[in-house]
Amino acid sequence: MKTTIFGIEKSQAEKTVTALNELLSSYQVFYQNLRGYHWNIIGKDFFELHLKFEEYYNDAQVKIDEIAERILTLEATPLHSFDKFLEHSTLPIHSNVFEGARAVEQIREQLEVLLEKQKTILHMADDSNDIATSDLMTQYISAQEKTVWMLRSFLS
């Protein structure tokens, strides 16, 4: 049985890498959607949301790097071109969103998609004894579940 340098079965690591590349691609789309919300938001919640969207895209940027580095650690190559990101993303592209509640709703929806993907990867990683990927997904899930709750509260 072939394993990675960290003892993870190669076939399991390859499945995890495929899922991580899909997550990476989705985060790239999410990041760009967030930039668009940040740039284009107008209305009474402008100041609050403009800053919040910046916080979100900075967080997404960190996650993009962490996911890519995890793929590299698993001895694979992260996707790194826009055509591949669009091909492998599970998120829709949003453009010309100006209204705060609509942007917040779209962010919530996208986070829920990301959460499901991360939970799938968490289970894959657990099954292959990939502790580092499990830990990374657990961190993301914990923080994002709280964010989804906050976004739902904002919209109530």
Structure confidence at residue 4 (pLDDT)? 80
Structure confidence at residue 104 (pLDDT)? 98
- Chain centroid to CA 52: how far? 17
Residue 112 lies in a domain: yes
Structure confidence at residue 82 (pLDDT)? 96
Number of domains in the chain: 1
Are 53 and 151 within 8 A, CB to CB? no
96 contact partners, CB below 8 Å, separation of at least 6: 36, 40
Residue 67 lies in a domain: yes
Residue 94 lies in a domain: yes
Structure confidence at residue 86 (pLDDT)? 97
User: What's the pTM value of the predicted model, to 2 decimals?
Assistant: 0.96
* Helix spans in the chain (H): 10-40, 46-73, 82-88, 100-127, 131-155
Structure confidence at residue 46 (pLDDT)? 96
What range does the domain containing 60 cover? 10-155
Of all helices (H) and strands (E), which one includes residue 5?
none
Structure confidence at residue 3 (pLDDT)? 81
- The CATH number assigned to the domain holding 122 equals 1.20.1260.10
> What is the C-alpha radius of gyration for the chain, rounded to an integer number of angstroms?
16
Taking the C-alpha atoms of residue 35 and residue 8, their distance in angstroms, rounded to an integer, is 36
Residue 5 lies in a domain: no
Each residue's pLDDT, cut to its tens digit, for the chain (156 residues) gives: 788 878 889 999 999 999 999 999 999 999 999 999 999 999 999 999 999 999 999 999 999 999 999 999 999 999 999 999 999 999 999 999 999 999 999 999 999 999 999 999 999 999 999 999 999 999 999 999 999 999 999 999
Residue 130 lies in a domain: yes
Residue 3 lies in a domain: no
60 contact partners, CB below 8 Å, separation of at least 6: 27, 30, 31, 34
Structure confidence at residue 149 (pLDDT)? 98
Taking the C-alpha atoms of residue 113 and residue 65, their distance in angstroms, rounded to an integer, is 19
Taking the C-alpha atoms of residue 94 and residue 106, their distance in angstroms, rounded to an integer, is 8
